[in-house]
A = this chain, B = another copy of it.
Amino acid sequence: MARIVMKFGGTSVGDLDRIRNVARRVKAAHDDGHEVAVVVSAMSGETNRLVGLVSDAAALYDTREYDVVVSTGEQVTVGVLSVILQSMGIDARSWLGWQLPFCTEDVHGNARILDIDTSEIERRFAETREVAVVPGFQGLSPRNRITTLGRGGSDTSAVALAAALRADRCDIYTDVDGVYTTDPRVTDKARKLDRVSHEEMLEMASLGAKVLQTRSVSIAMSQGVPLQVLSSFEDKPGTMVTAEDESMEKDVVSGIAFSRDEARVTLIGIPDRPGVAAAIFGALGDAAINVDMIVQSRTVIDGDAKTDMTFTCGQSDLPRALTLMEERYDDIQYTELESDEDVAKVSIVGVGMRTNSGVAKTMFGALAEKNINIKVITTSEIKTSVLVGADYMELAVRTLHDAFGLEGPSAADSQV
């Protein structure tokens, strides 16, 4: 008997037939004698529809009300899945974020989980082994209002719930069968990885490889939750996300991640004095806008030292970011405010990069050979990212996949 958290994303619960498929998987685990909590996302398309409704209602909206609207997507799924599980003879009930409660910070649209009260779920596990059906993505603020965790937050909900329940395993069921060297839709040379380290997964997730949400991997790493990514449509092993250990094959580069949801903002001709960066990024941070790449460069205009500041954020945050920069004009005093949504980020990731020089040279050389213009570069210990024109994204991914020799036996061959 094990205690398992099973998480199913939007595509896996996209219609009633798929929710029935999820219910069969849950039933199989329950029939095997396990204690099961299921975390589900909104049916695919629902979150986008609800977000669209709010942003069509007003360009600048109260994120507290956004959370009221958008959290309904998961609420529908937990009710429907519970009904289907019950119709299969399984004792099951839904728990909304405010019912457990799933306590978060007092932040809306992008809250962090503080604590989950699992006492009632555990009591029912002990009494009748009732399946707990829990909505991902949503929680309750200290002010008794609904919060959401930000896009992809259901993975985080699942891992945090697994940690709170001291679960033996957290299985993340998705529409792919594991973690690949890059997105197989971009190149058919992509290869499934049997294992990947938390650190690599973190970089890949944060860089837009859409398999796992970043915070979920952080929590799994810090709380020691065994995590598996696997297909909700096929019965086969997925990719284990594990601590880095000696036995792991140390590829210099393990994968190529990318993200289309990028927007660039540049503030030109800022007076070069202390406190400017704090004014810019303080304002963005207060508004819960996640800033990713940051590049600062000095120029001299008419004898005055000036600074240009470039940062990137998610496209949906761009209007708010620009409004904030305009509101803070007096503190920042740029000569020009410029933005570009027609960009994408491509990154190489690998724990082996730590001990291997020449990676940057290979990367920039390969991109230059294909005439791909690099707009921004950032690096960390185990990844290097470039911002390129959106049109060049796929080409850049394929070029780098080849340049680092990631092509392996085809995905079909590697399947057990």
Of residues 69 through 85 on chain A, the ones whose CB sits less than 8 Å from some CB of chain B are: 69, 71-72, 75-76, 78-80, 82-84
Q: A50-B76, A68-B78 are in contact. Are A56 and B16 (CB under 8 A)?
A: yes
Contact B54 A80 (CB under 8 A): yes
Query: Does A62 count as interface, using CB distance less than 8 angstroms?
Result: yes
- A36 to B78 Cα, complex, angstroms: 34
- A145 to B58 Cα, complex, angstroms: 32
- A145 to B50 Cα, complex, angstroms: 24
Contact A54 B69 (CB under 8 A): no
Which of A92-100, A360-368, A395-403 is the interface stretch?
A92-100
Contact B53 A99 (CB under 8 A): no
Contact B86 A62 (CB under 8 A): yes
Contact A57 B87 (CB under 8 A): yes
Count, chain A residues at interface, CB 8 A = 37
Query: Does A258 count as interface, using CB distance less than 8 angstroms?
Result: no
With beta carbons under 8 angstroms apart, the residue of B69, B98, B146 that contacts A80 is B69
Q: A16-B53, A16-B57, A57-B83 are in contact. Are A69 and B64 (CB under 8 A)?
A: no
- A144 to B117 Cα, complex, angstroms: 15
- A207 to B186 Cα, complex, angstroms: 61
- A64 to B76 Cα, complex, angstroms: 12
Contact B57 A19 (CB under 8 A): yes
Residues of A within 8 A of B (CB): 16, 19, 50, 53-54, 56-58, 60-62, 64-69, 71-72, 75-76, 78-80, 82-84, 86-87, 93-94, 96, 98-99, 144-146
